[in-house]
């Protein structure tokens, strides 16, 4: 049952007097469960108990935290069909996607459990003392990663599970030893409450301190603003629009004590089609990309919104086939009227730009909240001179830029904003002749793909999901994979500290048996 209440730690609470309902975009009507927004007082309570919980939670063993994360995964599974029903009712996404995303969310939690269980991840580094050193004795120094403090997580509209309440940001924070306060996404607040209930159950059954997790509802921006400005909040994770992410970043930067905001934001994910590849397989590339552009109604941060090629017969074939293929695909429901409305508005803005030509798009009747895909094209020069065309149109939209020559292609790439991904479509050897193109593209992205599609973000250690601004607010951190834990920790040094009072990771005996850097060498040895 969805109560519509907030979780202030393990207490359900609904002191506020603003109430809203989530929306079923497939049925085009409100869901029946009413959600109560958190009051300013509830925001404060959640942060205060998180700060209190931090004192003990930040110090418990990796094994205990792993147990907690695994229990969350189990409790999510135990939510059963109800979770899938509420998920689909709040997102318009199909049941198969709900199941897939649930599996991914559980997989992330388990991956973090494995990652932190041993203690290797704390990067234990030891320099032993040299009391006889001249002219000055060398002290004993031991360094490891420790948790930052309470983290506020803003869920994403487009991933109600994997990038929301118990998503990657939350899993990484809890793994690091940071209590989490989720600002629930208003579009799927019911899903959020169910997941929150699973986390709370897991926290209770594994003996975690109250306050290690809270879930706050809000349909507006006030709750989020209060959270980001609260002095006891030490970091923020966000997945969403550039506008939203930048607003939080600015707010955090203006605090008396600025805190890091790791926001993963928009991206047009440029795809470069090299000439020989176009000569040889323009049609099949076009078919693949018609699929990648429209998958999930284009509601992925890695959606290929920009395709670049040099004018040629091959490119002409590509745009023709893309135009044919794109209309064959049945549109699907978007997440919310606000999302489909924004898509229509941003698409209209793009289509009104001088020089932009529609290649093809779905034109038949569609149900309410569905997104009609469209692919467009423009000359290189026109693209270069119109920054509006560089902006993401969130939804099933893509723009093919037809460059005059390779030199223009390189310039265009070098002028792009920061991106999550860049893709090169190449006949096997041809890419070696385009070092300038590749080098410029690498400079603008966080991940580069050879002969693939940017959609589909594998959750693994070698994945970097982030990129130069505005793909993210700090290109030095990933939002996906176990290294995303690095966002929520800081190194800490102990100098001449008594061995028995050191954390296990730094003790002489190496009781965790982890790999450590001792006097500049990697070893599992004792001291």
**CB 60 to a copy of itself: min, Å:** 13
CA dist 73 and 458 (Å) reads 19
CA dist 6 and 46 (Å) reads 10
Query: For the window 230-249, what string marks contact with a copy of itself as x by the rule CB under 8 A?
Result: -------------------x
DSSP lists the bridge partners of residue 145 as 491
Q: Where does this chain touch a copy of itself (CB under 8 A) — which range of 5-13, 218-226, 392-400, 469-477? A: 469-477
Q: For the beta carbon of residue 444, count every other beta carbon within 10 angstroms.
A: 19
**CB 203 to a copy of itself: min, Å:** 21
CA dist 292 and 303 (Å) reads 7
| Contact call for residue 391 and a copy of itself (CB under 8 A) | no
Catalytic residue list: 264, 301
**CB 311 to a copy of itself: min, Å:** 26
| Contact call for residue 250 and a copy of itself (CB under 8 A) | yes
Of 131, 26, 141, nearest in space to 87 by CA: 26
Query: For the window 2-41, what string marks contact with a copy of itself as x by the rule CB under 8 A?
Result: ----------------------------------------
Cβ-based nearer residue to a copy of itself, 291 or 468: 468
| Contact call for residue 450 and a copy of itself (CB under 8 A) | yes
| Contact call for residue 513 and a copy of itself (CB under 8 A) | no
**CB 124 to a copy of itself: min, Å:** 9
Residue count, binding to a copy of itself (CB under 8 A): 68
| Contact call for residue 337 and a copy of itself (CB under 8 A) | no
CA dist 175 and 228 (Å) reads 21
Contact between residue 213 and residue 9 where contact means Cβ atoms under 8 Å apart = yes
Instruction: State the sign of the Cα–Cα–Cα–Cα dihedral 383, 384, 389, 390.
Output: positive
CA dist 336 and 99 (Å) reads 20
Cβ-based nearer residue to a copy of itself, 20 or 492: 492
| Contact call for residue 139 and a copy of itself (CB under 8 A) | yes
**CB 217 to a copy of itself: min, Å:** 30
Q: For the beta carbon of residue 148, count every other beta carbon within 10 angstroms.
A: 21
Which of 320, 486, 504, 527 touches a copy of itself (CB under 8 A)? 486
| Contact call for residue 225 and a copy of itself (CB under 8 A) | no
Q: How many Cα neighbours within 13 Å face the side chain of 268?
A: 25
Query: For the window 392-431, what string marks contact with a copy of itself as x by the rule CB under 8 A?
Result: -------------------------xx---------x--x
Phi, psi of 48 (to 5 degrees): -60, -45
Contact between residue 473 and residue 261 where contact means Cβ atoms under 8 Å apart = yes
Q: Where does this chain touch a copy of itself (CB under 8 A) — which range of 33-41, 193-201, 363-371, 458-466? A: 458-466
Mapped onto helix, strand or coil, the DSSP state of residue 396 is: coil
CA dist 196 and 184 (Å) reads 10
The three state secondary structure string of 13-73 is ECCCCCEEEEEECCCCEEEEEEEECCCHHHHHHHHHHHHHHHHHHCCCCHHHHHHHHHHHH
**CB 371 to a copy of itself: min, Å:** 24
| Contact call for residue 348 and a copy of itself (CB under 8 A) | no
**CB 68 to a copy of itself: min, Å:** 21
Q: In the window 155-214, what residues touch a copy of itself (CB under 8 A)?
A: none
Place of tokens 């992410």: 245
Which of 258, 341, 511, 513 touches a copy of itself (CB under 8 A)? 258
| Contact call for residue 475 and a copy of itself (CB under 8 A) | yes
Which of 60, 317, 468, 527 touches a copy of itself (CB under 8 A)? 468
Cβ-based nearer residue to a copy of itself, 251 or 356: 251
Which of 28, 367, 495, 508 touches a copy of itself (CB under 8 A)? 495
In order, the DSSP letters of 297-324 are: GG-STT---EEEEESSHHHHHHHHHHHH
Contact between residue 494 and residue 507 where contact means Cβ atoms under 8 Å apart = no
DSSP lists the bridge partners of residue 523 as 516
Query: Token pair of 246, please?
Result: 């930048």
**CB 463 to a copy of itself: min, Å:** 6
Query: For the window 75-114, what string marks contact with a copy of itself as x by the rule CB under 8 A?
Result: ---------------------------------------x
Query: Token pair of 393, please?
Result: 């149109």
Run of H or E residues at 285: helix 275-294
Binding site for a copy of itself (CB under 8 A): 55, 114, 125-127, 136, 138-139, 141-143, 146, 148, 249-250, 253, 257-258, 260, 417-418, 428, 431-432, 438-439, 442, 446-452, 456, 458, 460-464, 466, 468-470, 473-478, 483, 486, 489-498, 501, 515, 517, 520, 522
């Amino acid at each position: 049952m969805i109560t519509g209440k907030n979780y202030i730690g393990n207490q359900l609470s609904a002191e506020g007097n603003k109430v809203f309902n989530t929306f079923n975009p497939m049925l085009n009507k409100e869901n029946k469960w009413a959600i109560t927004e958190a009051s300013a007082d509830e925001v404060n309570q959640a942060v205060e108990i998180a700060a209190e919980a931090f004192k003990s939670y930040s110090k418990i063993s990796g094994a205990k935290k792993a147990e907690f994360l695994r229990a969350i995964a189990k409790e999510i599974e135990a939510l059963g069909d109800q979770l899938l029903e509420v998920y689909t009712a709040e997102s318009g996404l199909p049941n198969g996607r709900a199941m897939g995303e649930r599996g991914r969310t559980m997989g992330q939690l388990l991956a973090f459990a494995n990652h932190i269980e041993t203690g290797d991840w704390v990067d234990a580094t030891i320099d032993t003392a040299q009391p006889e050193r001249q002219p000055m004795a060398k002290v004993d120094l031991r360094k490891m990663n420790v948790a930052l403090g309470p983290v506020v997580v803003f869920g994403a509209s487009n991933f109600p599970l994997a990038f929301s309440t118990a998503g990657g940001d939350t899993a990484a924070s809890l793994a690091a030893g940071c209590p989490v306060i989720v600002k629930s996404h208003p579009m799927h607040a019911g899903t959020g409450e169910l997941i929150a209930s699973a986390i709370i159950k897991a926290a209770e059954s594994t003996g975690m301190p109250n306050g290690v997790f809270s879930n706050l509802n809000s349909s507006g921006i006030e709750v989020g603003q209060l959270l980001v400005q609260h002095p006891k909040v030490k970091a923020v994770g966000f997945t969403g629009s550039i506008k939203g992410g930048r607003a939080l970043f600015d707010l955090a930067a203006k605090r008396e004590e600025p805190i890091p905001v790791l926001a993963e934001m928009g991206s047009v994910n440029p795809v470069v089609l090299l000439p020989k590849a176009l000569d040889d397989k323009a049609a099949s590339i076009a078919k693949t990309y018609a699929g990648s552009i429209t998958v999930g109604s284009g509601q992925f941060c890695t959606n290929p919104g920009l395709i670049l090629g040099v004018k040629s017969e091959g490119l002409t074939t590509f745009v023709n086939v893309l135009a044919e293929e794109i209309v064959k695909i049945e549109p699907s429901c978007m997440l919310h009227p606000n999302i489909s409305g924004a898509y229509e508005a941003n698409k209209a803005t793009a289509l009104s730009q001088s020089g932009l030509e529609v290649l093809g798009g779905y034109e038949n009747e569609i149900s309410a909240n569905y997104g009609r895909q469209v692919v467009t094209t423009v000359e290189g020069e026109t693209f270069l001179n119109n920054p509006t065309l560089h902006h993401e149109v969130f939804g099933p939209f893509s723009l093919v830029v037809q460059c005059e020559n390779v030199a223009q292609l390189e310039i265009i790439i070098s002028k792009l904003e920061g991106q999550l991904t860049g893709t090169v479509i190449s006949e096997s050897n041809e890419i070696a002749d385009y070092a300038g193109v590749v080098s410029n593209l690498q400079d603008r992205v966080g991940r580069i793909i050879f002969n693939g599609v940017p959609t589909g973000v594998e959750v693994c250690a070698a994945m970097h999901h982030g990129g130069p601004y505005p793909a993210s607010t700090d290109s030095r951190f990933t939002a996906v994979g176990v290294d995303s834990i690095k966002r929520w920790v800081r190194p800490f040094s102990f100098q001449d500290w008594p061995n028995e009072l050191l954390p296990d990771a730094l003790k002489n005996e190496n009781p965790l048996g982890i790999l450590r850097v001792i006097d500049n060498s990697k070893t599992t040895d004792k001291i």
